[in-house]
Structure 1
Amino acid sequence: MTPMDMLLSRASTDRLKDPAPSPSQLTQILSTAMRAPDHGRLQPWRYVVIEGDDRPALAERIVASMARVEPEAPAAKIEKRRSRFSTMPMIIALGMHLRPEHKIPLWEQEMCVAAGAMNILNALHATGFGGVWVSGALVDDAILAADLGFAAPARLAGFLFVGTPDGPLHTPKRADPELFTARWHGHPVTFGADKD
């Protein structure tokens, strides 16, 4: 498989089983995040790895967070979150070590973390593993963030579920890039994707 084939065949999956990456594999995978664009060299990436017997404890913190940020969440959604966070082979909490006072705008710092996460997802796929990035209202819970080591002004950007894909990846058909691309010739552009 060529590098381009690898990138074009990547898809997110939460159908994951053991094994998760070994410590040495994980170090190499996380190293790809450090190759993300990093204006100002602020290195805002922070990762907390949760495995084994620590997963149910995290799941209970997730459920407590849901009670704070989604008090009307149906019982089925709560139980689904509890189950997923208790059983995924590996969970990586994505932290953003933000510097609000810095000349580099916060949005650029946040995008650096997002680019790093995408590099991790690509590296997982390239090494035979799989993953999915999950977020939602939980990322705005300062208590959960602090429990994970991301006290303000740091923030939580979500979680990566990591493991070995349980079966072939379902790779959904992607849109034609031409719909999202325009050539600028001195006037505002329009995009095919925006047409009714």
Structure 2
Amino acid sequence: MTDTISLLKTRRSFPSMNLVEPGPTPEQLTDLLTIASRVPDHGKLAPWRFILFRGDARAAAGEATAAVLLKNRPDIDEKSLAHEKNRFLRSPLVVAVVSRAAPHVKIPEWEQLMSAGAVAMNLIVAANAMGFATQWLTEWVTYDAEARRVLGLADTERLVGLVYVGTPNTDPFERPRPALADIVSEWSPVA
């Protein structure tokens, strides 16, 4: 069995709150983003991009999304607001995977969106192969137009998710996985 197969058989998400320094070096980050970009991309459109949150930018991004949340929910409690302010401080690196899927004469938007999902998964697998742990989250910021705007997305873009990357500070744990018998079927002609 190859190292890749072993990695894919054991890959798991870690809660972002359990991801600490060190994060990827600049060289590792370049490799991660290069690998993430090597996905099926019908039409060579590169219908995705990355926004990096690291260093002091993480706290500023959390303040920006917290301001949007407070505007949307003026009655929010302090604990929830503090949680939002710390959103990007959960790990040393947060990568926003952004879909730029748009109408195209030949390439369906659905294919472009799936390519962006593949980018996020490649990023996760590459980070795990380098020894980092990851978590891919969406949460409310993915679906809120103002939150997406303050995070740097255009009105025409969608947030595929935030990929948290860091070094785990806890042992891995497993969650139940679906039984193949529940998710696999053989095709047969429709009567």
TM (norm. structure 1) is 0.85
The Cα of 1:55 is off from its aligned counterpart by 1.2
After superposition, give the CA deviation of every residue in 1:111-150 in whole Å (9 maximum; x if it has no partner). 1111110111111111100111111221123333233332
Which of 86, 89, 97 pairs up with 1:86? 89
1:122 aligned residue: 125
| Count of residue pairs brought into register by the alignment | 188
1:11 aligned residue: 12
3-state SS of 1:35 partner: coil
Mind listing any 5+ residue stretches in structure 2 that lack a counterpart? none
2:95 & 2:81 partners in 1: Cα distance? 20
Q: CA RMSD in A?
A: 2.1
Distance 1:172 1:162, change over 3 A: same
Matching of residues 75-114 of structure 1 within 5 Å = 75-114=78-117
Mind listing any 5+ residue stretches in structure 1 that lack a counterpart? 189-196
Which of 25, 46, 50 pairs up with 2:49? 46
The Cα of 1:7 is off from its aligned counterpart by 0.6
Which of 58, 61, 65 pairs up with 2:61? 58
1:27 & 1:116 partners in 2: Cα distance? 14
Moved over 6 A (4+): none
Which deviates more, 79-88 or 22-31?
A: 79-88
TM (norm. structure 2) is 0.87
Aligned residue type for 2:11 = R
Which of 132, 153, 165 pairs up with 2:135? 132
